[in-house]
Amino acid sequence: MSTLTLSLIQSNLHWGDKNSNLEMFEKKIREIKERTEIIILPEMFSTGFRTDPADFAEKIDGPSVEWMKKMAGEKNAIITGSLIIEEEGAYYNRLIWALPNSQLGFYDKRHLFAFAGEDNQYKAGRKRLIASVKGWRVNLLVCYDLRFPVWSRQAPSGPEGFEELEYDLLIYVANWPDRRSHAWKSLLLARAIENQCFVAGVNRTGEDGNGLAHSGDSMMLGPLGEIFYHGRAAEEVFTMTLEKEHLIETRKKFPFWRDADDFAIHL
């Protein structure tokens, strides 16, 4: 059966300092000794969570994306995380999926955090990105998307049932504050159980420029809600190999997807 190895990088961020953040992540990535296939960075990993995008936005061919392509090629692994991207006069909180061959996929954050004014500065995405790696399907989402289960809801996509569900792994990248860490941990667990999938949630640590503390609490979860990894407040890198056989056996033994409601999302 197929395996997939992930590296989750939980780190503090230099507030608004792109060069320092890229240098810091470059060092952490190069220190990963295990053979890994996907390296996951936090939301807005080059700046911290900013609601002043005009001062920090780059084009899709800007230096931060070029850095991701360079590191993906160097490590022969996919690098993913979100950046502030400007396109045709609009700003996006855009998750980049950088492949070792320099090809890119991207997902624009659908649910913008109005509580902090993100919706006033950024444009919301209108479609999901489900990437494919070694026969694994990976659903890529950003931070506040976690609170909206319909957007990530698993649905059978073919007659084979458990073998034809939409995705196998759900990834969330985040700048989720410590004061709401209970929601972060609880909702990651819920998304894994309800969608019968692996879930990787990667959050930052430390205090940002607005004085908000971040407790990390990055997690790697199994399709029954098993907690394989729970980072605390420290900076750390966690690497784990996932087994497709465990996922398929879980869906065979507990075929709850058969009883799910049919629905459609209208944008």
- What is the end-to-end Cα distance of the chain in Å, rounded? 37
From 225, 222, 220, select the one nearest 203 (Cα to Cα): 220
**Inter-CA distances, 209 with 12, 13, 142, 152, Å:** 12, 10, 20, 31
**CB atoms near residue 35 (< 10 Å):** 12
* Catalytic sites, residue numbers: 43, 109, 143
